[in-house]
Structure 1
Amino acid sequence: MKGILSIQSHVTYGHAGNSAAVFPMQRMGLEVWPIHTVHFSNHTQYGQGWTGETVSSEAIETVFAGMEKIGVSGRIAAIVTGYLGDASHCDAIARIIKATKKANPDCLYLCDPVMGNPEKGCIVSDGVAESLVGTLMPMADILAPNQFELSRFTGQEIHSMEDAIAACKKAQELGPKLVLAKHLHGIKSENFSMLLAAEEACYLAQRPHLSFEREPVGVGDMISATFLAGLVNGTSAADAFAHCNNAVFGILEETKASGEWELQLIAGQKHFEAPTNQFALKQL
Structure 2
Amino acid sequence: MKGILSIQSHVVYGHAGNSSAVFPIQRMGLEAWPINTVQYSNHTQYQQGWSGQRFSADDIHTLINGLDNIGQLGNCDAVISGYLGSAQQCQAVADAVLRVKEKNHSAIYVCDPVMGDPDKGCIVPQGVTDEIKTKLLPIADVIVPNQFELSELTGVKITSIYDVITACKQAIEMGPKLILVKHLHSLAEGVFSALLATPKACYLVQRPELEFDKAPVGVGDLITSVFTACLVKGMSPVPAFRHTNNAVYGVLEITQDCDEWELQTVLGQGEFVEPTHDFEPKKVA
Question: Under a length normalisation based on structure 2, what TM-score does the superposition of the two structures give?
Answer: 0.98
For residues 122 and 10 of structure 2, what CA distance do their matches in structure 1 show? 19
Match of 1:54 in 2: 54
Pair 1:242 & 2:242 matched: yes
Q: How does 1:83-162 map to 2 (within 5 A)?
A: 83-120=83-120, 123-162=123-162
> What is the alpha-carbon root mean square deviation over aligned residues?
1.0
In the aligned structure 1, how far is the partner of 2:29 from the partner of 2:269? 12
Of 186-195 and 220-229, deviating more is: 186-195
What secondary structure, in the 3-state scheme, does the structure 2 residue paired with 1:116 have? coil
Q: What is the aligned partner in structure 2 of residue 170 from structure 1?
A: 170
2:191 maps to amino acid: N
Q: What is the aligned partner in structure 2 of residue 251 from structure 1?
A: 251
The amino acid across from 1:199 in the alignment is P
Gaps of 5+ in 2: none
How far apart are residue 60 of structure 1 and its match? 0.9
Residue aligning to 1:30: 30
Distance in 2 (CA, whole Å) between partners of 1:220 and 1:137 is 18
SS in 1 for 2:195: strand
Deviation at 1:86, TM superposition (A): 1.0
Q: Distance in 1 between matches of 2:5 and 2:108?
A: 10
Q: Distance in 1 between matches of 2:193 and 2:107?
A: 29
Deviations 1:98-123 (A, max 9, x none): 11111111110000011123414661
Would the aligned equivalents of 2:169 and 2:199 in 1 still touch at CA under 8 Å?
Answer: no
Structure 1 segments of 4+ aligned residues over 3 angstroms from their partners: none
| TM-score normalized by the length of structure 1 | 0.98
| CA deviation after TM superposition for structure 1 residue 199, in Å | 2.7
Would the aligned equivalents of 1:117 and 1:146 in 2 still touch at CA under 8 Å?
no
SS of equivalent to 2:64 = helix
Letter paired with 2:270? K
- CA distance in structure 1 between the partners assigned to 2:121 and 2:176 by the alignment: 24
Q: Does the CA contact (< 8 Å) of 1:140 and 1:176 recur in 2?
A: yes
In 1, Cα distance between the equivalents of 2:247 and 2:154? Answer: 29
Q: Supply the distance in 2 between the matched residues of 1:283 and 1:156 (Cα, whole angstroms).
A: 21
Query: What is the deviation of 1:77?
Result: 0.3
Q: Deviations over 1:112-160 (max 9, x none)?
A: 0111234146611111111111111221000100011001101111000
Per-residue displacement from partner, 1:71-105 (whole Å, max 9, x unpaired)?
00011100000001111100111111111111111
- The alpha-carbon deviation at position 189 of structure 1 amounts to 3.9
In the alignment, what sits opposite 2:203? 203
2:273 counterpart of 1:273: yes
5+ residue gaps, structure 1, are: none
- Distance in 2 (CA, whole Å) between partners of 1:202 and 1:281 is 9
Contact 1:147 1:158 in 2 (8 A): yes
CA distance in structure 2 between the aligned counterparts of 1:33 and 1:234, rounded to whole angstroms: 19
Conservation of the 8 A alpha-carbon contact between 1:39 and 1:52:
yes
1:232 and 1:166 mapped to 2: Cα distance?
28
Distance 1:32 1:90 in 2: 20
State how far apart, in whole Å, the 2-side matches of 1:251 and 1:204 are.
Answer: 20
Aligned length, in residue pairs: 284
2:221 maps to what in 1?
Answer: 221
**CA distance in 1 between partners of 2:255 and 2:120 (Å):** 23
Identical aligned pairs, as a percentage?
55
- Answer whether contact 2:45 2:120 (CA < 8 A) is retained: no
Task: Provide the secondary structure at the position in 2 that maps to 1:152.
Answer: helix
Deviation, structure 1 residue 261: 1.5
Do structure 1's residue 191 and structure 2's residue 191 form an aligned pair? Answer: yes
